[in-house]
Amino acid sequence: MIEHHVYFAVFGFDEDPAIITRVAGVTPDDIWRQGESYSALTPEARRMENRWILASNLDQQASHREHFEALLIKLEALGDNLTTLRQTYRCGIGVSQYFFMDDPAFYLPGDLMNRYRALSLTLTFDQLGLDASPATSDD
């Protein structure tokens, strides 16, 4: 099983996220606030910065190409607002892929990467390899 998360984010801003929403012209899929808890499971883990997020919103088991295409459609729809966001704030594409060590393949076709490049966006990848066998008490 492979799981993916693909998103565009505005990072580390200090103002109200509603200001970024007005600049973008779209409602974010998620907003993180510095100091809030990541989850009820780990209430002591806190977010280190503010983040305004547009996500692919696909199921985590959709292919990475499908995630990138879905996000790209959202970003292309922003038009000049994307340029304004990038000129005003620290922005980027985030990708996390969780895979088992027996299938770590990752490929994006050139035409898809060129569409991101046309928006002056670079892609950063964070692949986390998970062991396919359960851990034992001796590990």
Residue 133: band (very low, low, confident or very high) from pLDDT cuts 50, 70, 90 = low
pTM of the complete model beyond 0.85: no
Task: Provide the pLDDT for residue 130.
Answer: 56
Cβ pair 66, 9 in contact under 8 A: no
Alpha-carbon gap, residue 94 to 9, rounded angstroms: 7
Query: Where are the chain's structural domains?
Result: 3-37+47-130
Q: What is the pLDDT of residue 113?
A: 85
Q: Report whether pLDDT(4) > 60.
A: yes
